[in-house]
Structure 1
């Protein structure tokens, strides 16, 4: 019989745990919640160690399952090592420069600043590596078996919903193992263009930026979605000349129109060259840098090009088609609201499902999958209550219903928009670009959603998200005392204005 997934993988051939974690693992096993005598221990295999995978592993271990986490790059996956954590660390450095550069109107003389790109990128890498190590230690301490390698479903004579996996460790020979529950959390990879092949030197994906020893003199960003806008904003603050190629009529075309327009105007005010209604046809190396050719024949010259044209789900080489797991035409794995695929016992979570490319959503999908698979009471994922943030400067955050739904008559809501130019705290720190927008249901006065554009919109959206989740009315929100002066005061003020309707 094949060895069971999880702690049963204990032979010298199959034990591929990080040696640095060995000392912490055995005590953790002893301290783990005991399984009742005679009870059957569920065997859980998780393929992918990003937010969906490691959060699911922690839940499964807490519930007494025998858990194996299979990850090819490192704990935390691409999210921690090359995507979300590095990008937000880099953006944090750029925000410091924005604060310095825009302090003059406050009577504080801006000082000369120097930027050591190698040092900034080195810090980005160190923090990502440390975060990965912290996650690995936490997961191992919970009693989870970590296998560094790849996993795939293996078609076999299945019975009683037992699933077989082919595990290929980074070191050692491949082997087969069976388990009761499989969770696929393999994420996604930056999409590239055949006419603009990335080389890691001049034409780059966002995962290759941190290998640069110097800041780009002139960065051409192809793609004005969330990722493109974030990096364009950060490199502009760092001092690079930035040209943003946008195929639509504005940056971030899928975000709230008022918010995207506000952020776009800030970009232009700070010197960004935004080419709306433009589409890149090709990107090529030149003797001195790169050139990006647009579909209308225009050529934009720069020192580097950053390709931000979406992601491709990592659903290949997992044995899905042969196993009968549905995969759509774009490569995503369709799941229901509790993360089930069409095959019993096989779940999927995170970017590979195409639900929402957010770490918070991926983590919740993973937790929900395990809760459901192990028979716990579970609340299905409610995407309408998910708060999202774009880490440009200013940031753009949103939750709940959208302005486009209101305008189209899909929801019966009223709205109020308060510019930050009327907020006393925003005036004091001279960060008045932005607004707070609040939606409420006409029938009940319950808060339906909101949009915030501000330097720390990611923090300001939380009280609105809480109001949406807990179904608070605008009156309840309006009667909540806020600090004076504070940016959050605009949220209560917007609620008071909605009460007047």
Structure 2
């Protein structure tokens, strides 16, 4: 008797609630969500905070730069002889400048919320965690929850300040770079532990407000990744402004009192201040995602590994922004989101983030750079020359009273190709983009002689490029 074949059931097509769900509404999450929505995909975002914007809008980039701007304008006013007719100096407190920062944050949140509304992206508020690789649970503070499904899920949860376990961050005089925005008193003396980008920026802010600042650096120089001359310039400027920098120091313990904090260092030094700001590293926000449910594992700093398309080891899970680590810049996160969205739509994305990402450090004065520094070029044995322009020689800087600073151009001796640009001074993060645009030119367009052969408005800070180019070319052996 012949055997009959069993009929095979046709596979059932799974219908997901969304084509994509993005966890987090910072720059990376926003960049991904907007690009997917514009391609007619059904998109939802999950934000654990009451409003969108992520750490960039609420605790990091926007508020710290708004604080810095207020302090910088105060310093300009108090040091400009045109306005300083009397010896009475104007003064602001930290709570004063927080009011301005809050206004900027509110404007940014309203703007970004309108983006989601305009693109018909659903916003859900709550804590997201994985059930499986297509399902997320959104939990509310009262314990209630709802589950959502999507074909693709993007992790854009950002990062948070690292908190040493032995330090009591519940104490009213101990802060990190998030909680410092809740400071409601006016400290006369602050210790900042960690002299990276965040530590140096807040050192500028508090010193500009007139507070005594002890900046504790666990390394041997400030911002070791920057050009050595620029790092030295910042160190000198900090020293000249009264900031006490303590290099190669490690924390032993923190002693808290009702009216002060006493810092004990491994070297035996002790420091007393009104409060302490910890700014020594960050941790990826992955610990509450229940990653084990999908077989995904973060590293010791809570960061996720991704490929060139920002896909994790799970085929339908992507990650962008600070949660993947370097370069941890808002500007880069937007581009990562755009590239991830293209990869989700088409399987891969041929585009990549530019190799020379500009860096802006909003100290007072600012630092900004793009490309290689002198140490890197020397180590690589690349023959280069240096062109410099001092801001104090520029008419626009003299008019504006922003004469502290300089522009440095590094270029190849033979090809004249620009290899790196480093700027220290007011508006450095804006000035750097002029040089970046030329560096990105191809087919011989990247050439320092461009700055000799073009015409700049006069007087402008852009003139620094012509001055630096002439200075550098005059150094070449004829």
Same-fold status (TM-score > 0.5) = yes
The residue that corresponds to 1:4 in the other structure is 16
User: How many pairs does the alignment contain?
Assistant: 459
| Distance (Å, rounded) in 1 between the aligned partners of 2:138 and 2:130 | 9
Residue of structure 2 aligned with 1:71, choices 47, 52, 59:
47
Q: Is the 8 A contact 1:5 1:45 kept in 2?
A: no
Q: Is 1:365 equivalent to 2:336 in the alignment?
A: yes
| Alpha-carbon separation, structure 1, partners of 2:368 and 2:387 | 16
Which residues of 2 match residues 172-321 of structure 1 at below 5 A? Answer: 173-199=144-170, 201-321=172-292
Name the SS of the counterpart of 1:374 in structure 2. Answer: helix
Q: How many angstroms apart in 2 are the aligned matches of 1:379 and 1:323? A: 28
Q: Which shows bigger deviation, 339-348 or 278-287?
A: 278-287
Does the 8 A contact of 1:103 with 1:109 survive in 2? no
Aligned to 1:127, what secondary structure does the other structure show? helix
Change (3 A) 1:260 1:379: farther
Per-residue deviation, residues 296-333 of structure 1 (Å, max 9, x unmatched):
11101111111110100111222333423353333211
Residues 261-299 of structure 1 deviation map (CA, whole Å, 9 limit, x = unaligned): 101111111111111222222222124311111111110
Distance 1:412 1:143, change over 3 A: farther
CA contact (8 A) 2:396 2:461 kept: yes
Question: Aligned with 2:99: secondary structure?
Answer: helix
| CA deviation after TM superposition for structure 1 residue 361, in Å | 0.8
TM-score by length of 1: 0.85
1:346 corresponds in structure 2 to: 317
Q: How many angstroms does 1:195 deviate by?
A: 3.3
Displacement after TM superposition at 1:391 (Å): 0.5
User: Scaled by the length of structure 2, what TM-score is found?
Assistant: 0.89
Structure 1: gaps of 5 or more residues: 7-42, 157-162
Q: 2:61 maps to which residue?
A: 84
Contact (CA 8 Å) 2:390, 2:406: kept in 1 or not? yes
CA distance in 1, matches of 2:342, 2:295: 24
Following the alignment from structure 2 to structure 1, what is the Cα–Cα distance between the partners of residues 211 and 267?
26
Taking the TM superposition and a 5 Å limit, the aligned residue runs for 1:57-206 are 57-73=33-49, 74-104=51-81, 111-155=88-132, 163-169=134-140, 173-199=144-170, 201-206=172-177
What is the aligned-residue RMSD (CA, Å)?
2.4
Instruction: Tell which deviates more after alignment, 426-435 or 79-88.
Output: 426-435
SS at 1:180's partner residue?
strand
- 1:17 maps to none
* Distance in 2 (alpha carbons) for counterparts of 1:107 and 1:150: 52
Superposed, 1:448-463 pairs within 5 Å as 448-463=419-434
Indicate the residue corresponding to 1:37 in structure 2. Answer: none
When residues 477 and 316 of structure 1 are mapped into structure 2, their CA distance, relative to the original with a 3 A threshold, is same
Q: Deviations over 1:397-432 (max 9, x none)?
A: 011122221121265543323332333333343433
Q: Decide whether aligned partners of structure 1 residues 255 and 196 sit closer, same or farther in structure 2, where only a CA change above 3 A counts.
A: farther
SS of equivalent residue, structure 2 residue 104? helix
Whole-Å Cα distance in 2 between the matches of residues 370 and 389 of structure 1?
A: 26
Q: Match for residue 4 of structure 2?
A: none
Which structure 2 residue ranges, 5 or more long, are not aligned? 1-12
Matched, 1:474 2:448: yes
Match of 2:3 in 1: none
Shift of 1:345: 2.2
- Whether 1:492 and 2:469 are equivalent positions in the alignment is no
| Inter-partner Cα distance in structure 2 for 1:329 and 1:222 | 21
